[in-house]
Structure 1
Amino acid sequence: MRADAARNLAVVLRTGARLLAEDPGTSMSAIASAAGVDRTTVHRRFATREALLSAVFHAKLDSAERVLDEARLMEAPVPVALHRYVERIVPVSREWPVDTRRMMRQDPDADRRRAEQSARLDAFLRRAADEGHLRPDASPEWVRAVLDQLVDTVAHRFPDVEPPRAADLVVDTFLNGFGRS
C-alpha cells in the first residue's frame, strides 16, 4: 500500500471510530468529509458502513492486543503490570472510542478476539487476587466491572489527564479500593 493510501486509511479509520462512537448511524459521506478524503476513497476500501465499522473494531482489537502483550500481566509484579496496562489502554480507548461489544453480533472473529482479550485480563485479576493484592470477598465480576469503568471514566470524562497520571489515579483507586485493609 502506498504511503498516502496508508495515511488516508488510518485517518478514515480514526475518524470513523470517533464519529461512529458519537452516532452509530453516521454516513460514509460524513466520515469521508470529516476525514478530508473523497467519498469514493472510502467506498473503494469499504463497501458498506458495516465493513468500515468492522475495520475500526479490528484496529481497536489490534491496539488492545499490543497493550496486553506489553503490560506483561502474568510476568510483571501486579501493581507494575496494572499500571502498564492502564497507561497504555487509556490512549487506545481515546483513539478508538467505539464499544467493541456492539460488533459482536455481526463479526464472529471480532467476538472471538475480544473474548480472548477479556479472558487475559480476567486471568490477571485472578492472579492479583491470588497474590493478595485484592480483597478476597470482592467478586471477580465486580472487580472487573470497576476496573473497566475506572479506565473508561479517566479515558473519556477526563481527556486532559495524561496517560501516566491516569494510570496513577486508576491504580491507586483500584488497589486501595479493593486492596486488603
Structure 2
Amino acid sequence: MRADAERSTARILEAAEKVLADDASASLEKIADAAGLARATVHRRFASRKALVDALSERFNDRYRHGIDQARVGTAPPMVALHRLTESAFEVKTSYRLVVDLSHGPDDDVLAGIDLLFARLHESGVITAAQPTWCRNVYLALLHEVHLLPADAAELADGGDEVESRSALLIRSVLGALGGKPQPRS
C-alpha cells in the first residue's frame, strides 16, 4: 500500500474509533467527514461497514496482544503481570468501546496469554481455581462489569486515578472469586 493510502487508512480508523464510540450507528459518510476525507476514499479502503469494524477489531486485538507482551505474562511475577495486564485492558476497553460493545472480543492469541497468566497464578498459589479457561472467563466477565461502572461509583473510591481504581477493584474481585487473597505487587 502506498504511503498516502496507509495514512488515509490510519486516519479512517482513528476517526472511526472516535465517531463509533459516540454513535455506534454512525454512517461511513460521518466517519469520512471526521477523517477529513471523501466518502469514496473510505469506501475504497473499506468495502462495507463490516470490513471497517473488522479492521477496528484487528487493531483492538493488536493492542491486547501488546498488553499481554508488556505484562510479560510468561515471565514476570504473576501478580505484577496481572496488574499490568489489567491496567492495559482498561485502557484498551476505553479506546475501543465500539469493538467491545459489538462483542468482538479478544482473539485466540490473547486468550492463550490470559490463560497462561491464570495457570501461573494457580501454580504460584495466588488462586486456588485450577482451570485457566474458567479463570479467564471470570476475569473477562468482571472486567466488563467493572468497566461499565460509572466513574463516581462507590466501589471505585480508593483514591487512585480511574484506571488504577478500576484495576484494583477488578483484581480484588477476581482473586476473591477464584479463591485467592490479595497479594503484594512485588
TM-score, normalised via structure 2 length: 0.74
State how 1:136-155 maps to structure 2 within 5 Å.
Answer: 136=129, 139-155=131-147
1:11 equivalent to 2:14? Answer: yes
State how 1:1-181 maps to structure 2 within 5 Å.
Answer: 1-2=3-4, 5=8, 8-15=11-18, 17-18=20-21, 22-23=24-25, 26-33=26-33, 37-97=37-97, 98-99=99-100, 114-136=107-129, 139-158=131-150, 162-180=162-180
Q: Deviations over 1:88-133 (max 9, x none)?
A: 11111111121498569xxxxxxxx811221121121111112111
Contact 1:125 1:140 (8 Å CA) reproduced? yes
Larger helix proportion, structure 1 or 2? 1
- Cα distance in 1, alignment partners of residues 41 and 176 from structure 2: 50
- Cα distance in 2, alignment partners of residues 53 and 158 from structure 1: 26
Contact 1:12 1:42 (8 Å CA) reproduced? no
The answer to which structure, 1 or 2, has the higher relative contact order (CA under 8 A, 6+ apart) is 1
**1:110 maps to what in 2?**
none
What is the root-mean-square deviation of aligned Cα atoms in Å? 3.1
Contact 2:121 2:127 (8 Å CA) reproduced? yes
Q: Secondary structure at the match of 2:107?
A: helix
TM-score, normalised via structure 1 length: 0.75
Contact 1:15 1:35 (8 Å CA) reproduced? no
- Cα distance in 2, alignment partners of residues 175 and 77 from structure 1: 15
- Cα distance in 2, alignment partners of residues 159 and 66 from structure 1: 26
Deviation at 1:146, TM superposition (A): 1.7
Deviation at 1:79, TM superposition (A): 1.2
- Cα distance in 2, alignment partners of residues 40 and 6 from structure 1: 12
Cα distance, 1:166–1:148 mapped onto 2, change above 3 Å: same
Return 5+ residue gaps in structure 2 as ranges.
153-160, 182-186
> What letter corresponds to residue 122 of structure 2 in structure 1?
A
Deviation at 1:153, TM superposition (A): 2.1
- Structure 1 range deviating more: 160-169 or 39-48: 160-169
Aligned residues: 169
- Cα distance in 2, alignment partners of residues 35 and 168 from structure 1: 36
Cα distance, 1:117–1:8 mapped onto 2, change above 3 Å: same
